[in-house]
Structure 1
């Protein structure tokens, strides 16, 4: 639960997620947000991914290997994965 709170806190710098109580709901909100950004503001989406340090080459490979899934879902999962890495790193070095 503490990890989810940390994850929510990090994600809230890019998206409004204050009322989300589960990782599944967070993922659903992010898929929706990335779908919107893909359709309406791709430069903002790219900026978010750049600031979050989502590896561009890794993301391209994920999009290709998961071409059966909606792009927004693959992007949201990559974003969440990167944010989880940050949570783990912070936890590891804050002891």
Structure 2
């Protein structure tokens, strides 16, 4: 698998089942929905996913406080996606 063939959905697909060729907007909405469900039904699984994705706990707490007007699931999904994008960019940079 080349660095060009790795996509964000490949990284996220390790934690969530996603449809093929999903748009960025649909991906974000799916993550908000998934984290909303996890918040309501399985916080330990959510924490495990965030831990494996290496989402900084302190940074996430700060985001939740600073963006209190937004739903928590949206803030968490955005933090998760941002971290996965960062990991993907790093992987691409060093896998050439």
Where on the TM-score scale, by shorter chain, does this alignment land: which range? over 0.9
Aligned to 1:89: 90
TM-score, normalization by structure 2: 0.91
**5+ long unaligned stretches in structure 2:** none
Residue 12 (str. 1) matches residue 13 (str. 2): yes
Residue 51 (str. 1) matches residue 52 (str. 2): yes
TM-score, normalization by structure 1: 0.92
User: CA RMSD for the aligned pairs?
Assistant: 1.7
Tell me the CA shift for residue 20 of structure 1.
4.8
**5+ long unaligned stretches in structure 1:** none
How many residue pairs were aligned? Answer: 94
Whole-Å separation in 2 of the counterparts to 1:28 and 1:37: 14
